[in-house]
Chains A and B, each alone.
Chain A
Amino acid sequence: MKLEGTFLVAAPRDTVWELLTDPDVLARTLPGCERLSVAGENRYEGVISVGIAAIRSTYTGSVVLDDIRPPESYSLAVDGQGTGGFIKGRGRITLTEQAGQTSMAVSGDAQIGGRIAGVGQRLLDGAAKKTLKDFAAALGEEARKRLEREYRGFRG
């Protein structure tokens, strides 16, 4: 299953990069993320509940970052296992400055095995798109809050 999407985040690239490499922010913004903690260099472990509305499956697994080029891009490898089966994703996130804002491009593919693979085919693509969209929106919200704090801090 292909995962593609480009989203505009209302914050400068450096800010977005910081957010994207902050496990606490990721834990808050990744839709369905229940727990995310650092487990080594460029490695996170956690629990994520994937799905839409009532259709959910919980996976325990890891995210490993690779080929990191701050503040531009990194690759990530996601591996999760749960009672519903497994998920495996490989992708790259690329940030481009766009007039003080950031265009975030997500590109990759995911493999889903187990229950939902044999049942939810027609919903998988849509669910993936929605998840990416919601993630980008949450990231945008985090960016806004951070900028506000910085601004207030700046104002003193």
Chain B
Amino acid sequence: MATRPRYVGTRVKRSYARRLIQGLAHYVDDVRLPDTLHAAILRSPHAHARLGAIRTTEAAKAPGVVRVLTGADVTGKIGNVACASALEGLRIPPHPVLAVGKVRYVGEPVAVVVADDPYRAADAVELIDVEYDPLPAVTDPEAAAAAGAPVLHEEYGDNIAYQWNLSGGDIEAAFAAADRVVKSRLVHQRVVPNAMEGRGVLARYFPGEKELTVWTSTQIPHLARSVLAGMLSVPEHKLRVITPEVGGGFGSKLNVYGEEAIVAYLSMLLGRPVKWIERRRENFQATIHGRGQVGEVQMAVKNDGTILGMRYHVIADLGAYHQLLTPAIPTLTGLMQTGPYRIPALDTRVTGVFTNKVATDAYRGAGRPEATYICERAIDLIAHDLGLDPVDVRRRNFPSASEFPFTTATGLQYDTGDYVKALDRAVEIADYRALRAEQREARARGRYLGVGISTYVEICALGPSAAAPPGVGWWESATVRVEPSGKVTVMTGASPHGQGQETSFAQIAADMLGVDLDDVTVIHGDTAIVQYGIGTFGSRATAVGGTAVWKAIEKVLAKATKFAAVLMGVEESSVRFDGGRFTSSTGGDKSATIQEVAGAAYAAKALPADTEPGLSATCFFEPKNFTFPFGAHIVSVEVDAETGAIKILRYVAVDDCGKVINPMLVDGQVQGGIAQGLGQALLEEAIYDEGGQLVTGTFMDYAIPRAIDMPRLELHRTETPTDVNPLGVKGVGEAGTIASSAAIVNAVVDALAPFGVRHLDMPLKAEKIWKAARVRVAAGV
């Protein structure tokens, strides 16, 4: 590697940004094949009902319609939607791609119409007549868990999908030794991921070759291929999955949905390409939701703020059926329960519950925002109840940098960390003392300022394969091919969908091989071209995928060195490589460029001993651990007690994601992450009424942050490399979201402290704030 990297660590602009901005990128809907038919889905308007007769004759006769299918038509032809989670005692109800017998959530697919254009398909859907026999619905997870609730999957007798417990240390002793137990009920509301591009699938079956190609907007092309092959009984090697440009996923496309299989099946049935592009309303109703936990946290503490133990009992709102990782997400909360603190005893109980709503699954942070929120609210409650400064309580409970690798009571081993440093840095940049002084002064004048802190650690860069669901590994793959001309092709099993690895992996390759950035191309998302990979989720692409690239290049360089030695006529052990050029310590001024070496490797005129021609290498990198990025966010807000309006005055973020390949990409991830955490804290909530109707079904009622809603973000970093991978990279895609909701809520609750407010649940809508502030006003203070 060059002594001073030319690209890694610099703010290189995304190579592909231009095509995105100019509308030249190809998303699924931009892939146009001749003779394509269009599918439209009839979805249940009932949250819970028995399914009676489905009359499709009128729809089948409608202009342009080629076929109409219902659940009965595909039973035995398309397998059920897959759930990859294997928790002990987990109930996995059958999840048909088109409803059979019952519908269990508003938006559940009931029938599919295929027509020659999407408009006629949509018109024909209206002509399908379905007999529903409505049943009482249950949408509140606590009500669903209680006796007497309407039962979704009658074979189970109740709505409990699983009970997952995690304990560590001696929790009874911890609570016995406590000076005080600080507790609170906490609600994580359901949110809608809302990727800018909804889901979409195009399938093309060649009956002669018996080959199926599926273009799908997914985060996991290879995994989707394996799952779809199973669902469709198509041999895996005859199925090609292509991921074109993907307009955002945020976890909502870390999945395999029934519609993907339905569209592929239709193409096989009809021998023509079939396309389905999800409409925004469908995305709200039928693409997975995020979060959905209701629980109580209890912290056993000493009067000086030391935490002795922690209990978290929670009910997880899973939805009506499982999608790929639905049951697993709340268990990630349990694993990260203790956050960046030394908490020796732990008792976590997660009850996963079925409700008449769409499934929840991974959404940016996937269980870890919940864990951070619980910890950080608890810390602030401890500080509040004991009359301590929240910064001091955190410092008191942090492990010191010398205690790493740090093993938690949940059984994880945090790789590296310096939590004190990140917090100190944030405190300094935010000028915490001055913020507190300003707050005191403002209170005296009837203005309510608040300061909120969130110190987090999160688990990412999944990960050791032993921890992955059955049948799946969590390694990542890369093939690096130096072409005869010396240009470089990197094929990664990761599946970036806005994260920028096309640029960052090119930076790594360009630096290691000493070529120009433009000489490197990064390919992903095509199972016919790219070796089997796992995909992009859990902030893993750079830490795991980037490491695979790095290791593949190491192999390439080892082979290139052999060829260079032959070319220069020197001993292999004397060869050095720097800045794209091989030299020899014994060869005088002899040298060979990587381009020359590549040419020689393919021309194969003089092969080194025991060496094959060509110059490429593959690596499947299996990480020995997760990585644990961390940081500290400090937010100051002003709350208007008269109107409940919240204004964020300052937002300081200090994040540590280990080594940074491209600071601009990292900043982008943190900004986007904070935006989604802010959305959950202040604006977003997927609301279902008692009848199970999704009331916030469009952007008229579901508020997501826009650019004008965002405060100016002051982003800083500390850099504590990980030893889990040679790049020293930890992962940062979800960190912003994981940290931010807690920081904002802490700030607002702090602002309302004079009103006796101890806790408020998200989203912090204006009316909620106003009502909380009235108590004191009414008391005349």
Contacts and interface: CB of A to CB of B under 8 A. Distances in A.
A114 B701 CA distance: 16
Interface in B22-51: 45-47
A113 B106 contact: yes
Interface in A107-125: 111-115, 117-119, 121-122
B46 A117 contact: no
A146 B2 CA distance: 98
Interface in A81-119: 83, 85-86, 88, 111-115, 117-119
A119 B693 contact: no
A121 B45 contact: no
Given A83-B126, A118-B281, A121-B701, A113 B695 contact: no
B407 interface: no
Contacts of B691: 111, 113
B779 interface: no
A118 B284 contact: yes
Interface in B675-701: 689, 691, 693-698, 700-701
Contact of A118 (B46, B134, B285): B285
B46 A113 contact: yes
B45 A85 contact: yes
Interface in B505-520: none
A117 B126 contact: no
A121 B695 CA distance: 7
B693 A118 contact: yes
Contacts of B695: 117-118, 121
B698 A86 contact: no
| Residue with the highest number of chain B CB atoms closer than 10 Å, among A85, A112, A113, A115 | A113
Interface in B106-128: 106, 126
Contact of A117 (B132, B697, B700): B697
Contact of B693 (A83, A112, A122): A112
Interface string B119-144: 00000001000001010000000000
B697 A118 contact: yes
A86 B284 contact: no
A111 B45 CA distance: 12
A113 B693 contact: yes
A84 to B, nearest CB: 8
A115 B695 CA distance: 10
Contact of B694 (A83, A86, A118, A122): A118
Contacts of B285: 118
A122 B701 CA distance: 9
Contacts of B700: 119
Given A83-B126, A86-B45, A117 B693 contact: yes
Nearest to A1: B689
Nearest to B129: A81
Nearest to A114: B45
A51 to B, nearest CB: 16
Interface in A25-55: none
B284 to A, nearest CB: 7
B103 to A, nearest CB: 11
A51 B365 CA distance: 42
Nearest to B701: A121
Contacts of A112: 693
Contacts of A119: 281, 697-698, 700-701
A8 B757 CA distance: 47
A119 B699 CA distance: 9
Contacts of A113: 45-47, 106, 691, 693
A121 to B, nearest CB: 5
Contact of A86 (B46, B281, B697, B701): B46
Contact of B698 (A83, A85, A88, A118): A118
Nearest to A84: B45
A118 B285 CA distance: 9
A36 to B, nearest CB: 21
Contacts of A83: 126
Nearest to B126: A83
Contacts of B284: 118
A109 to B, nearest CB: 10
A1 B281 CA distance: 22
Contacts of B281: 118-119
Contacts of A118: 106, 281, 284-285, 693-698
A119 B691 CA distance: 15
A20 B700 CA distance: 38
Nearest to B106: A113
Nearest to B285: A118
Interface in B688-738: 689, 691, 693-698, 700-701
A45 to B, nearest CB: 16
Interface string A114-148: 11011101100000000000000000000000000
A85 B107 CA distance: 12
Interface in B252-290: 281, 284-285
Interface in B151-202: none
Nearest to B689: A117
Contacts of B697: 117-119
Nearest to A111: B691
Interface of B: 45-47, 106, 126, 132, 134, 281, 284-285, 689, 691, 693-698, 700-701
13 contacts: A86-B46, A86-B132, A88-B134, A113-B45, A113-B46, A113-B691, A115-B45, A117-B689, A118-B106, A118-B284, A119-B697, A119-B700, A119-B701
Interface of A: 83, 85-86, 88, 111-115, 117-119, 121-122
Which 7 A-B pairs have CB atoms at the shortest separation, nearest pair first?
A118-B697, A114-B45, A117-B693, A83-B126, A85-B45, A113-B45, A111-B691
